Amino acid sequence: PAHRSGLYAEGSWHPRAYMELLVASGRVFGKSWAARRAMGIPIFLLTLLLTWKAATAVMRERGAGPLAPALAVFLLCTSPFAIKGSVHMDIDNSLLTAGCMALTWACVAGETWTMPRRAALAGVVFGLALWAKLTTPLAVLAGVFAYEVALRRPRRAVVFVTAAGAIGAALFLCTWYAYCSAKGIDWRVPIRYTFGALVAQSSRAGAGAGAGLAGHVRVVVRVLLWFSPFLATLALAGAAGAVWRLLKRPASSVRGLLACISLAIFLGYLVVGRVVYGFPKYHFPALPLFCVLAADLAVDWLTRGPGRARGLLAIPCTLALAFAIHVTWVGDLLYQTDYRLKEARATSEEEFRQEA
C-alpha cells in the first residue's frame, strides 16, 4: 500500500532524521555501503555511554562497586544482536535506540526533580526522539506511566506523561512542519502512515500466517534467539523481580523504572510489529535496558553469598521449558528466517526455467 500511495518515493514513511544523517555521512565519507553502515558505529557508541549511565544509576542503588556498570556495557558490546544491529542500515537499531535511551535517561535523571522540571526535560528529549520514529518513544512514556501507577501515584503518572507528551509533541510538530515546508513534503505523511500501520498490524495480530499458538511461539522464539535466551532470561527475571517489588512495597527505584520501560517496549512489539523476516528490529531499543537488568541481577546473585546462587536453577529450568514448548508446537529451533518465502521464490524460479 505504501508503494502504491507514493510514500516510498517521497522517502517519508518516518521523520527524516536518520535519512538526513545518511546524506550528511555520504557527503563526508562517500556513498559506499561500508561508509553508510559505518555511520551506525558512533551512534552505537553513544548508546553504550547512555547504557553505562543507566547501569551506574542502578548499581549505585545496590551499593555495588564503580566497575559494576561495566558488566552491562560488556554484555551489550558482545551481543551478536547488538553487533548486527550497529551496522545494519535501519532506524530502529541505530538512531531510535539512542533516542529512546536518552529519553529513558532523562526520566531517570529527573526522578528527584520537581514535576515541572522533570516533565520539561523529558518532553524536550521526547520531541527529539520523535524525529527518529513516532512509535517507540511512546512506549517509553507508557513504561514511565506504568511505573508511576505501580508506585500508587496515578495522578502524578497522568500529569507527567501528559505534560511531557504535550511538550514533546509540540516541539516535534513545530520543527517537523518547518522542515517539511522547506523541503516541500507533506508533513502529515509519517503520521498517517504510522497510525495506519499500527491499526493494520493490531488487527492482524491474531490472524494470517501468524495465527495460532505456534505462530506466536515462533515469534517469541525468534526474538529470544536474537537477544540470546540466557541474556533474555536474566533480564526478564530481573525485570519481573523489580516489578514485583514495586507492587509489593512501592518505593522509587531506578531498577523498577528501567524494568517497566523495557517491558513496555519488549512486550508491546510482540503484539505490534513482531519480527521482520525473522529479525526483531523493533525490539532492539529494549536490548540496552535488558543488558542493564541482566547485569544487575548477576551482581545481586554474586554479592549475596552461595545461598543466593540457588536462583540460578531458574535459568536452566526456564530454558528447558522453552525448548520443550518450541519442539512440541513449532519445530526447528533455528527457524530464524521466513523460509516459506524463500521456498516459494525458489519454486517459482524453477517452474519458470522449466517453462522456458
Query: Quick one: which H or E segment has residue 271?
Result: helix 254-271
- Number of residues written out for the chain: 356
pLDDT block averages, 10 residues each, the chain of length 356: 41 79 82 80 93 92 82 90 84 91 91 85 95 92 94 91 95 93 84 75 53 70 84 90 89 91 92 75 93 90 61 61 63 49 52 49
Which positions ≥6 away from 240 have C-beta within 8 Å? 259
R_g of the chain, CA atoms, integer Å: 21
> What pLDDT score was predicted for residue 252?
83
What pTM was computed for the model?
Answer: 0.81
> What pLDDT score was predicted for residue 288?
95
Distances in whole angstroms, Cα of residue 338 to Cα of each of 46, 187, 193, 214, 244: 32, 34, 25, 14, 37
Reading phi first (left if > 0) and then psi (alpha if -120 to 50, else beta), residue 65 is in beta
DSSP designation for 283: G
> What pLDDT score was predicted for residue 330?
54
> What pLDDT score was predicted for residue 209?
45
**Closest Cα partner for 11 from 186, 171, 200, 201?**
186
> What pLDDT score was predicted for residue 170?
96
**Tally of CB atoms within 10 A around 38:** 14
- Beta carbons of 61 and 238 less than 8 angstroms apart: no
Positive or negative, the CA dihedral 187, 190, 192, 193 is positive
Buried b / exposed e over 264-297, threshold 16 CB at 10 Å, is: bbbebbbebbbbeebbbbbbbbbbbbbbbbbbbb
